[in-house]
Amino acid sequence: MVAQIQKTLRDNAAARWIVLVLVASMMFFAYMFVDILSPLASVLEKTRNWDQGDFGTYAAGEYLLNVFGFLIIAGIILDKMGVRFTGLLSASLMVIGAAIKYIGISDWFDANNLVWLNSWWTSMPGSAKMAMFGFMIFGCGAEMAGTTVSKILAKWFKGKEMALAMGLEMAIARLGVFAAMWLAPSISHAYATAGQDSVVAPLLFSALLLVVGLLNFFVFTLMDVRLDKQLIAAGEAPAGADPEDEFHVSDLKLIFSSKMFWIIALLCVLYYSAIFPFQRFATNFLEETLAISNAEAAGLFKWFPILAMVLTPFLGAFIDYKGKGASMMLLGAVIMILCHGIFAFVLPAYPSKTLALVTILVLGVSFSLVPASMWPSVPKIIDEKVLGSAYCLIFWVQNVGLCLVPLLIGKLRVATDGYLVPMIVFASFGVLAFILSLALKVEDKKKGYGLELPNKK
């Protein structure tokens, strides 16, 4: 009888994996929405009068409010209010932001040419400003959702297949990038009017999927309520339920005083700054470098997340059973340096679609190695009661880079009239990430955090 009482919903393998599917599908729709306009930069230029600088500024908008403190507040909300409240809030913000962005891109908005929106910041089209505002709201929800999902998986897979679960979640989410690169040009062309591809149809399709993600998360909350009741009945209070484990803002010093936290946070911002901003410009880069159409360029780049999607779960399982997390981060940084070096120097000299595709696929390997090992490492160095804040603070540091780098790349793109300098910048981020990966491995060996040890007990 005692053994039955101690069994909880997370001990049921089917229940754990259903939770994974519910929260990962929400992130799949979020990742898809993030990049749904990325393959349509040239269409936006023709139909909405955006230039590359406008596109870079719009892309930076996703991270703007997070940089100015929202993610820090999100971490406090997550640790204070729990994953259910925070997840529903974040999913709702994504839907609201998507609706505003859709209005900004819509034909109605473009046709009405609202004077009040065009009377300030006159160098940027009104549609870009409105889309950027919606992207800011969406970005708050998306980044909050990412940290919430990480804490959910840490809770539901504690002592079990945590790295595998996080790897699968990342793989499913990245499939959203593939879906965006694959579907956006097709939907855009299918709903063309007067011979001009549509930017409205792909955006609306992706926005409606975010509503499905919100409904999926609501189903998860019902399961999580049941788990908490079972944990209490089994004598294992949920995180934050014990007064001694209750989160206080003063507990943030446990994070800020951690050297390992800062190494991982800086490694994260450098690594992701060479990945996500690159995604925004990759289609246009391939268009110009290979002298191919927008659709063909998007068709090449859509394969970027595929190897990452396939490999990440296997790498997560490897870490669960064998370890070597710090070594994987180091290898991922090396691969990224090589790939961006090829984009900067080799591909322009030898414009081969085969070379471009191979390099894109290999970059996907890097995109599996680093995240698959980085995110499961955080619970090893941070106390559980501030784990949500730790994830949010890492995302906050990351968002500083993700906000500034698209702006920088957009300006460099216009100033240099080419992609050589931007690609060198991306490669330089990889070099710095490599140095921090070395520092992480040395510190782990010295202090014994167990980053090289398996997760499975």
**Position 366, amino acid:** S
424 versus 120: the higher-pLDDT residue is: 424
Count CB-CB contacts under 10 A for residue 414.
12
pLDDT at 3: 44
**Is residue 274, in this structure, part of any structural domain at all?**
yes
Residue 5's pLDDT band (boundaries 50, 70, 90)? very low
**Is residue 453, in this structure, part of any structural domain at all?**
no
- DSSP state, residue 232: H
Question: What is the Cα–Cα distance from 386 to 384, expressed in whole angstroms?
Answer: 5
**Quick one: average pLDDT of 359-387?**
85
Residue 317's pLDDT band (boundaries 50, 70, 90)? confident
pLDDT at 443: 93
Least confident of 157-171, 319-333, 433-447: 157-171
Interval 21-33: pLDDT, tens = 999 999 999 999 9
**Is residue 389, in this structure, part of any structural domain at all?**
yes
Contact 219, 86 (CB under 8 A): no
Interval 86-117: pLDDT, tens = 999 999 999 999 999 999 888 777 666 555 56
Interval 377-435: pLDDT, tens = 888 888 777 877 888 788 788 878 888 898 899 889 889 988 999 999 999 999 999 99
**Quick one: average pLDDT of 295-311?**
82
Rg (CA), the chain: 22
**Is residue 3, in this structure, part of any structural domain at all?**
no
**Is residue 198, in this structure, part of any structural domain at all?**
yes
Count CB-CB contacts under 10 A for residue 445.
12
Residue 244 scores a pLDDT above 60: no
**Is residue 388, in this structure, part of any structural domain at all?**
yes
pLDDT at 122: 60
Indicate the number of domains in the chain: 1
**Is residue 131, in this structure, part of any structural domain at all?**
yes
**Is residue 89, in this structure, part of any structural domain at all?**
yes
Contact 439, 368 (CB under 8 A): no
Domain of residue 202, residue span = 9-447
Interval 39-81: pLDDT, tens = 888 888 888 888 878 888 888 888 888 888 888 888 888 888 8
pLDDT at 359: 96
Burial-class residue 27 by CB neighbours within 10 Å (0-12, 13-18, 19+): buried
Among 299, 35, 26, 280, smallest CA distance to 172 is for: 26
Question: What is the Cα–Cα distance from 336 to 425, expressed in whole angstroms?
Answer: 12
**In this structure, what CATH number is given to the domain that contains residue 151?**
1.20.1250.20
**Which of 4-13, 208-217, 275-284 has the highest average model confidence (pLDDT)?**
208-217
**Quick one: average pLDDT of 180-200?**
88
Q: What is the mean pLDDT of the chain?
A: 86
**What percent of the chain shows pLDDT beyond 90?**
41
Residue 145 scores a pLDDT above 60: yes
**What percent of the chain shows pLDDT beyond 70?**
92
